């Protein structure tokens, strides 16, 4: 009794939480609406007369592998027996736009001395402050990580010695951009160490200064490519879950969570009730709260109106392109437009498309030839856009805008990224717009979930156990500590601990020593 768990969604949070609960001795069943595991971290395959091109649907940056190593270790497994990881150098190439001139090309490396020299080519004074920026954020992350690893349900959970130690390093009154002004004055250098706010779907002008840890994490722990893409990590966790006796039911969309009073009692799938003692939700949190949990059992901060009023991340327009022939780009290339502030305002406030937008291209085949037919390329192209809430207020209609945006993206690939004859070489193609993300049960098509402003972090974010409900849990980017694969894996550890604690079952995360982070 008390140990049958339903997990709604086989995304990174659902799978990792399911592994931990199964390894702790619970009977776990995962219900996934799609025919494949992964959620936003699933695999896309496009066939052509030349063969098959494969892509990550969503995340392509894999950071802090030691967090996932902890989960595998807790389950008695070694991540590296299930996935092959390659460290990238350069981590990525930045193309920093300049008005009236060609972009500055900056290849970013984990070697701090070498990176300082490369920044000095842009601004020697700012470059001299780069090692201090790294050191300060090393201290900040060290002090913050215990907070990221535990539930924050109210102010009392913050009132302890660990929080007191980190407070002097937080600067909650500053944005990422505001804090960077204390280290760097050159706008190009600032952009080189603040574009990472895009991982949260936010502008560095709005993103809280706590998130200057994001570039530090890259320089400290590196950026990694799992062979086959980040989706390969989802299949690795699915394999471990099967070995532990867990069950994954694909093409089994949950219609709603069932309740007795305020206590979750199971899920409804294809009109059939399945009884469980706990329900862990890994679907998009705002969508799931509105659509899977009856309004009659919800109140306050999780009512429909309250959910709709929250602030959301941006969305994305995506092109997945199978190209004949090679592409001379590193694994990750990010273009930062010289109209940076305008582009950010268009995305977050004005709800319109920018003529010369920032854009990202992933070219993984030189590192991982398995993703395309021999000699060809599988390009993942991402353009940040307004989410549908902001976009519709600004007059964007994606039934008309999709074609224009596709042409803009292809033009930019040739003009800015230097990829020749893109249209002529394309042999397979898929485009996703914010409308497509919304249609896949993502609230407002906000691909990076709820925004991470101060009023939507820590205890103000939807709780690991949903407010006012019992045995109904959240895992993933919609709950504490937030979005991004490493942080989602931390949320799975927290949710698994809480479920085990409720049933007085020792959680494997606490029974095993976590491995030390790999030395750089």
| Parts of the chain belonging to CATH 3.30.519 | 314-447
Identify the pLDDT of residue 156.
67
Residue 466 φ then ψ, to 5°: -60, 135
Local confidence band at 172 (pLDDT 50, 70, 90 cut-offs) = confident
Q: Which of 196-200, 366-370, 449-453 has the highest mean pLDDT?
A: 366-370
The CA distances from residue 345 to 175, 285, 353, 437, in Å, are 15, 26, 10, 21
Sequential DSSP letters for 295-336: GGG--GGGSHHHHHHS-B--EEEEEEEEESS-----SEEEEE
Count of CA atoms in the C-beta half-sphere (13 A) of 364: 30
H or E stretch including 84?
A: none
| Parts of the chain belonging to CATH 3.50.50.60 | 4-44+59-86+229-310+450-510
Rounded mean pLDDT, 186-211: 90
Rounded mean pLDDT, 423-445: 98
Identify the pLDDT of residue 485.
95
- Residue 401 exposed, middle or buried by CB count within 10 Å (0-12, 13-18, 19+): buried
Higher pLDDT: 3 or 513? It is 3
Owner of token pair 């659509």 = 291
Over residues 278-323, the pLDDT tens digits come to 999 999 999 999 999 999 999 777 889 999 999 999 999 999 999 9
- Nearest in space to 329 (alpha carbons), one of 302, 367, 375: 367
Spatial neighbors of 197 by CB under 8 A, at least 6 apart, are 176, 203, 204, 207, 211, 214
Q: Which of 140-154, 187-201, 320-334 has the highest mean pLDDT?
A: 320-334
Confidence check: pLDDT of 518 > 70: no
Rounded distance, CA 302 to CA 168, Å?
32
Identify the pLDDT of residue 167.
67
332-336 and 359-362 beta bridge pairing: antiparallel
Confidence check: pLDDT of 520 > 50: no
Q: Which two tokens mark 297?
A: 């059992």
Local confidence band at 150 (pLDDT 50, 70, 90 cut-offs) = confident
The residues with which 381 forms a beta bridge, in sequence order, are 319, 361
Q: Which of 37-46, 200-209, 479-488 has the lowest mean pLDDT?
A: 200-209
Average pLDDT of the chain?
93
Q: Which of 38-47, 201-210, 256-265, 378-387 has the lowest mean pLDDT?
A: 201-210
Sign, CA torsion 351/353/355/359: positive
Over residues 99-127, the pLDDT tens digits come to 989 999 999 999 999 999 999 999 999 99
Q: Which two tokens mark 469?
A: 């409900």
Rounded mean pLDDT, 126-152: 91
Instruction: For residue 481, say if its preceding peptide bond is cis, omega within 30 degrees of 0.
Output: yes
Rounded mean pLDDT, 321-346: 96
The CA distances from residue 74 to 17, 241, 496, 513, in Å, are 11, 12, 12, 8
Rounded mean pLDDT, 343-371: 96
**CATH node for 4-44+59-86+229-310+450-510:** 3.50.50.60
Over residues 56-93, the pLDDT tens digits come to 999 999 999 999 999 999 999 999 999 999 999 999 99
Q: Are 350 and 311 in contact, with CB atoms under 8 Å apart?
A: no
Over residues 466-502, the pLDDT tens digits come to 989 999 999 999 998 989 999 999 999 999 999 999 9
Reduce the DSSP state of residue 340 to 3 states and report it. helix
Rounded mean pLDDT, 439-443: 97
Identify the pLDDT of residue 513.
43
Identify the pLDDT of residue 151.
85
Identify the pLDDT of residue 170.
73
Residue 323 φ then ψ, to 5°: -110, 140
- Determine the topology of domain 314-447 in CATH: Guanine Nucleotide Dissociation Inhibitor; domain 2 (3.30.519)
Residue % of the chain over a pLDDT of 90: 84
Identify the pLDDT of residue 247.
98
Q: Are 127 and 117 in contact, with CB atoms under 8 Å apart?
A: yes
Confidence check: pLDDT of 414 > 50: yes
Local confidence band at 2 (pLDDT 50, 70, 90 cut-offs) = low
């Amino acid at each position: 009794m008390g140990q049958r768990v339903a997990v709604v969604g086989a995304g990174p949070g659902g799978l990792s939480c399911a592994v931990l609960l199964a390894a702790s001795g619970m009977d776990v069943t995962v219900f996934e609406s799609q025919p494949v595991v992964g959620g936003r971290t699933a695999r896309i395959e496009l066939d052509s007369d030349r063969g098959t091109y494969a892509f990550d649907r969503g995340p392509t940056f894999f950071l802090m592998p030691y967090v996932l190593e902890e989960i595998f270790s807790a389950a008695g497994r070694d991540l590296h027996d299930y996935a092959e990881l390659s460290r990238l150098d350069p981590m990525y190439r930045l193309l920093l736009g300049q008005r009236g001139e060609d972009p500055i090309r900056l290849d970013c490396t984990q070697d701090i001395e070498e990176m300082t020299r490369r920044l000095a080519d842009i601004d020697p004074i700012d470059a001299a402050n780069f090692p201090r920026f790294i050191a300060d954020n090393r201290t900040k992350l060290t002090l913050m990580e215990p907070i990221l690893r535990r539930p924050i349900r109210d102010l009392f959970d913050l009132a302890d010695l660990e929080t007191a130690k980190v407070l002097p390093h937080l600067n909650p009154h500053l944005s990422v951009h505001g804090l960077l002004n204390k280290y760097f004055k050159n706008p190009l250098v600032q952009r080189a160490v603040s574009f990472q706010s895009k991982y949260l779907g936010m502008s560095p002008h709005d993103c809280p200064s706590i998130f200057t840890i994001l570039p530090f994490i890259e320089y400290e722990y590196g950026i990694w490519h799992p062979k086959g893409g980040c989706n390969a990590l989802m299949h690795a966790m699915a394999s471990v879950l099967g070995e532990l006796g867990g069950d994954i039911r694909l093409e089994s969309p949950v219609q709603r969570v069932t309740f007795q009073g305020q206590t979750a009692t199971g899920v409804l799938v294809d009109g059939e009730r399945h009884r469980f003692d706990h329900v862990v939700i890994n679907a998009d949190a705002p969508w799931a709260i509105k659509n899977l949990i009856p309004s009659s059992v919800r109140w306050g901060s999780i009512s429909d109106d309250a959910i709709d009023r929250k602030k959301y991340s941006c969305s994305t327009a995506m092109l997945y392109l199978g190209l004949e022939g090679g592409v001379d780009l590193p694994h990750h290339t990010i273009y930062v437009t010289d109209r940076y502030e305008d582009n950010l305002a268009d995305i977050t406030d004005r709800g319109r498309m920018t003529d010369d937008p920032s854009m990202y291209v992933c070219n993984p085949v030189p590192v991982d030839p398995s993703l395309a037919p021999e000699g060809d390329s599988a390009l993942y192209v991402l353009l940040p856009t307004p989410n549908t809430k902001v976009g519709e207020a600004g007059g964007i209609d994606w039934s008309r805008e999709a074609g224009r945006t596709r042409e803009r993206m292809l033009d930019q690939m040739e003009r800015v990224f230097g990829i020749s004859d893109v249209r002529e070489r394309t042999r397979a193609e898929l485009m996703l717009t914010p409308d497509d993300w919304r249609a896949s049960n993502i609230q407002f098509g906000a691909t990076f979930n709820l925004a991470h402003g101060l009023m939507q972090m820590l205890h103000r974010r939807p709780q690991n156990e949903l407010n006012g409900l019992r045995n109904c849990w959240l895992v993933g980017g919609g709950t504490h500590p937030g979005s991004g694969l490493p942080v989602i894996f931390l949320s799975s550890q927290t949710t698994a601990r809480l479920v085990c604690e409720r049933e007085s079952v020792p959680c494997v995360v606490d029974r095993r020593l976590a491995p030390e982070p790999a030395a750089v």
